[in-house]
Each structure stands twice: as structure tokens, then as C-alpha cells.
């Protein structure tokens, strides 16, 4: 089959890890007889330098009408001035918002080969296999007022945690639907002891749960969830959280898997019926959960696995290529089982190799 993909490498290690996932996709094409056409766009800091805006019009038009989008990372010290009018991160936030990608799926697994790469005790990591459903287009990231100003008594700043019933309802349903295909357990994360928006969230979660009598729903406060995620990570199956809680909890959860560089994500405009997005549905975006890691950019040592696994999620969810997705995941497992490591996961004594070698090994194993 033929597929058209938009690739947005972005800044920092973005282009390095994207290159490896393209290598892997090309290998998938050869092995399974598919043709991938890649069209590249600029986004983030690089786009600010070139055009003055982190998401040029040309880039957003490249994102429409394609089978899927593969995204690297954005940001870096060069654009970090707190008084800057535009920021690289605004690029990815605008794409998410404009394409309506409200559901961000972040699976967290501990691959057996990496059980000793995590600072968390191996005995706690057995059986860890959860998916965090992060709300991606609401809450503190987007609601107004959102601004800074000066008063006679000093500087002020405000962000707004606002959610509508519809936004909460639709993200919770994504969680419940996923839970139905998994262990039938859903953890809804909130801060209902303090926040009004969380009390609404909890109320709606309880209401929606009535339509899913087969799913066991628990409500957990976000601070307690942060603790339990390390103390008893195997307890969790599907976790649903608002935008910022989900952002924080998934960086934390990545420690279980060995490194922030390991985790993929899919940003969808809703869960496709039957678990698969057909071609022609709304476009989805796939990106690793890590950022642009400017401290290691350009050194060829970044871990490409989060991006490669994001490409696998793309094969599965947007292109309907289950066997191909599994082949990529198996090849990742294989390279790790053979002891190959990028530096971030190399503390267990495996053979530490460069980004491009890891990509080639995974591509070679397809
Ligand atoms: C993520 C990142 C982004 C976010 C940043 C780069 C804006 O941390 O995808 O988790 O906060 O959503
Ligand atoms: Mg994050």
C-alpha cells in the first residue's frame, strides 16, 4: 500500500531521532511491500529563525490530508528568553489544538531487557504495563486569561485551569473504551480536594462510569498518584488525567521504563472505532514524550527508541498495519535483548552504541 506522511523533525535531538524512525519505516516498506512518501516541514525554534513563527502556515497545511504526522521535538536555550513573544513550544501546542488532537495516549511498559536500567527496584517493575491517557487540548496550557503584567505592587502572572463538561466527558470515554480492551480498570486522576475543575472532572467520571458497568473506576488525587506510580506501578492499567497532570505523571512514569527516551505517544482526535484509525479519518500525530534535549543534541547519542515506537503506534493506529507495528516493536525488543543500549539506558552494563547504530539495528531486525 501507499502512504503519505508528514515529518516534522523540529529542534535539538528531534532530527536525529526522526532520522532513525524513517530508517525503520523504510525497512518496514521493503519487508512488507509498502511505499511511504515523506514530506518534511519546519516547526519550533528552527521555524522561528526561518519565518518568525513556530508554526508557519505551510507547515500546518502539510499536516492536513496526509495519513499521519511524525513529530520529533521542539525547543532549546536559544529561544528560551522568558520575555520572548514566540516560543518553539507554541508550535506543537498549536498543531495539537488546530488538529483537535485532544487524546494523547502514552503507553508505559517495562521491557524485560531493561528491568535493571531503571533506578526503581526490579521487584516493583514486574508486570508494569499501563497506558496514560493525557488530555491534550485543554486546561492550563490553553485557557485564558493567560498572561503576565506589572502592578505597582510587583509583577503578576496567571494561567487558567478551565475545562468544559464536553472536554472532560470525551477524554474519559477514551479511557473507558481503552480499559474495556485491557484489564477493565480505570484510574481517574484529579485534585478534587482543592480544585473546582477537578471536582467537575470527578463528578463526570462517576457519571460516565454508569455507562461502563464492566469497568472498575478509581479516583486518585494527583499527588498520591505520583507516589503510587513509583511505589506500586504494576497496579495501574489505564490512567486518565488532565493536560498538565498527564504531562508530569508521564515524565515520572518514564523512569519505570528505564529512560524518558523510551516512551512513545499518539495524539488522536478521538479513539478510532475498533481500536484502529482508518485512512481518511482525522489525521493523528505521533511523537516521543521527551523534549529536544539540547544538552545532548548533535552528539549522536540520543535514544531513538521513543520515536521508533511512536512510528510503530502510527503503523497500528493510523495506517491499520498491525503486523508491521508488531514487527517494529519486536525488533526493538530484540536489539535490547541482545544487550545494545544508548547511553541513557546503558547503566546495566549493556553495550553502549550511537543513535544511528541503534536505528540501523532495529531496521535490520524488521
Ligand atoms: C510533552 C512536552 C510538551 C508538553 C512541551 C514540549 C510543550 O513536555 O509533550 O510532554 O508539555 O506537552
Ligand atoms: Mg512533557
Q: pLDDT by residue (tens digit) across 140-168?
A: 999 999 999 999 999 999 999 999 999 99
pLDDT of amino acid 271: 81
pLDDT of amino acid 199: 98
Catalytic residue check, 348? no
The answer on pLDDT for 280 being more than 70 is no
Catalytic residue check, 223? yes
Q: Judge if 149 and 234 occupy the same domain.
A: yes
Catalytic entry in 190, 191, 212, 286? 191
Q: Judge if 104 and 162 occupy the same domain.
A: no
Q: Judge if 125 and 248 occupy the same domain.
A: yes
pLDDT of amino acid 307: 98
Per-residue confidence band for 82, with pLDDT thresholds at 50, 70 and 90:
confident
Q: Judge if 222 and 278 occupy the same domain.
A: no
Q: Judge if 29 and 152 occupy the same domain.
A: no
* Mutational pocket test of ligand 1: of 71, 72, 291, 293, the residue with most ligand atoms within 8 Å of the beta carbon: 291
pLDDT of amino acid 338: 97
Protein residue whose Cα sits closest to atom 4 of ligand 1: 247
pLDDT of amino acid 293: 98
Q: pLDDT by residue (tens digit) across 164-212?
A: 999 999 999 999 999 999 999 999 999 999 999 999 999 999 999 999 9
The answer on pLDDT for 278 being more than 60 is no
Q: Which DSSP category does 187 fall into?
A: E
Catalytic residue check, 183? no
152 C-alpha to ligand 2 centroid (Å): 35
Q: pLDDT by residue (tens digit) across 5-18?
A: 999 999 999 999 99
pLDDT of amino acid 277: 53
Q: Judge if 205 and 157 occupy the same domain.
A: yes
Q: Which DSSP category does 349 fall into?
A: S
* Mutational pocket test of ligand 1: of 95, 247, 292, the residue with most ligand atoms within 8 Å of the beta carbon: 247
Q: What percent of the chain is modeled with pLDDT above 90?
A: 95
CATH of the domain at 325: 3.40.718.10
Catalytic residue check, 129? no
Query: Average pLDDT for residues 267-278, to the nearest whole number?
Result: 71
Catalytic residue check, 141? yes
Q: Which of 268, 281, 251 is nearest to 103 (CA)?
A: 268
Domain that holds residue 196: 118-257
What distance lies between CA 45 and its chain's CA centroid? 20
pLDDT of amino acid 274: 57
30 C-alpha to ligand 2 centroid (Å): 34
Q: Judge if 145 and 248 occupy the same domain.
A: yes
Q: Judge if 307 and 351 occupy the same domain.
A: yes
Q: Is the dihedral of CA 23, 27, 30, 36 positive or negative?
A: negative
Domain stops at, among 213, 235, 257: 257
**Count of domains forming the chain:** 2
pLDDT of amino acid 279: 44
Domain stops at, among 228, 257, 286: 257
Protein residue whose Cα sits closest to atom 12 of ligand 1: 247
Per-residue confidence band for 100, with pLDDT thresholds at 50, 70 and 90:
very high
Protein residue whose Cα sits closest to atom 5 of ligand 1: 89
Contact (Cβ atoms closer than 8 angstroms) between residue 215 and residue 240:
no
Q: Judge if 122 and 79 occupy the same domain.
A: no
Q: Judge if 252 and 124 occupy the same domain.
A: yes
Average pLDDT, the chain: 96
1 C-alpha to ligand 2 centroid (Å): 34
Q: Judge if 214 and 307 occupy the same domain.
A: no
Q: Which of 88, 100, 35 is nearest to 64 (CA)?
A: 100
User: Model's pTM, two decimal places?
Assistant: 0.96
Q: Is the dihedral of CA 195, 200, 201, 207 positive or negative?
A: positive
Domain stops at, among 196, 230, 257: 257
Contact (Cβ atoms closer than 8 angstroms) between residue 5 and residue 310:
no
244 C-alpha to ligand 2 centroid (Å): 8
All three cell numbers of 170, joined, read 470525551
Q: Judge if 80 and 149 occupy the same domain.
A: no
303 C-alpha to ligand 2 centroid (Å): 16
The answer on pLDDT for 288 being more than 90 is yes
How far apart CA 263 and CA 289 sit, in angstroms, is 6
Amino acid at each position: 500500500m501507499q502512504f503519505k506522511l508528514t515529518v516534522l523533525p523540529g529542534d535539538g535531538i528531534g532530527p536525529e531521532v526522526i532520522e532513525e524512525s524513517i530508517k525503520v519505516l523504510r525497512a518496514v516498506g521493503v519487508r512488507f511491500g509498502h511505499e511511504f512518501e515523506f514530506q518534511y516541514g519546519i516547526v519550533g525554534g528552527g521555524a522561528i529563525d526561518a519565518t518568525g513563527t513556530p508554526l508557519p502556515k505551510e507547515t500546518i497545511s502539510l499536516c492536513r490530508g496526509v495519513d499521519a504526522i511524525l513529530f520529533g521535538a521542539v525547543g532549546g536555550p536559544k529561544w528560551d528568553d522568558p520575555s520572548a513573544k514566540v516560543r518553539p513550544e507554541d508550535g506543537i501546542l498549536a498543531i495539537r489544538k488546530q488538529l483537535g488532537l485532544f487524546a494523547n495516549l502514552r503507553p508505559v511498559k517495562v521491557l524485560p531487557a531493561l528491568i535493571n536500567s531503571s533506578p526503581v527496584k526490579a521487584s516493583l517493575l514486574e508486570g508494569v504495563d499501563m497506558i496514560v491517557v493525557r488530555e491534550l487540548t485543554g486546561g492550563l496550557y490553553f485557557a485564558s486569561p493567560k498572561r503576565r503584567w506589572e502592578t505597582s505592587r510587583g509583577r503578576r502572572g496567571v494561567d487558567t485551569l478551565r475545562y468544559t463538561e464536553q472536554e472532560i466527558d470525551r477524554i474519559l470515554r477514551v479511557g473507558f473504551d481503552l480499559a474495556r480492551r485491557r484489564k477493565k480498570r480505570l484510574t481517574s486522576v484529579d485534585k478534587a480536594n482543592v480544585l473546582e475543575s477537578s471536582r467537575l472532572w470527578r463528578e463526570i467520571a462517576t457519571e460516565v462510569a454508569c455507562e461502563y458497568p464492566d469497568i472498575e473506576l478509581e479516583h486518585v488525587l494527583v499527588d498520591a498518584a505520583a507516589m503510587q506510580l513509583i511505589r506500586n506501578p504494576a497496579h495501574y492499567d489505564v490512567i486518565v488525567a488532565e493536560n498538565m497532570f498527564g504531562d508530569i505523571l508521564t515524565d515520572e512514569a518514564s523512569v519505570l521504563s528505564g529512560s524518558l527516551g523510551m516512551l512513545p505517544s499518539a495524539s488522536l482526535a478521538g479513539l478510532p472505532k475498533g481500536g484502529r484509525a482508518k485512512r481518511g479519518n482525522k489525521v493523528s500525530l505521533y511523537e516521543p514524550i521527551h523534549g529536544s534535549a539540547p544538552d545532548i543534541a548533535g552528539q549522536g547519542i540520543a535514544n531513538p527508541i521513543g520515536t521508533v515506537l511512536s512510528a510503530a503506534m502510527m503503523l497500528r493506529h493510523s495506517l491499520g498495519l498491525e503486523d508491521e507495528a508488531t514487527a517494529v516493536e519486536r525488533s526493538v525488543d530484540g536489539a535490547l535483548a541482545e544487550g545494545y543500549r544508548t547511553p541513557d539506558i546503558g547503566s546495566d552494563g549493556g553495550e553502549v552504541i550511537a543513535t544511528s547504530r541503534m536505528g540501523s539495528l532495529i531496521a535490520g531486525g524488521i
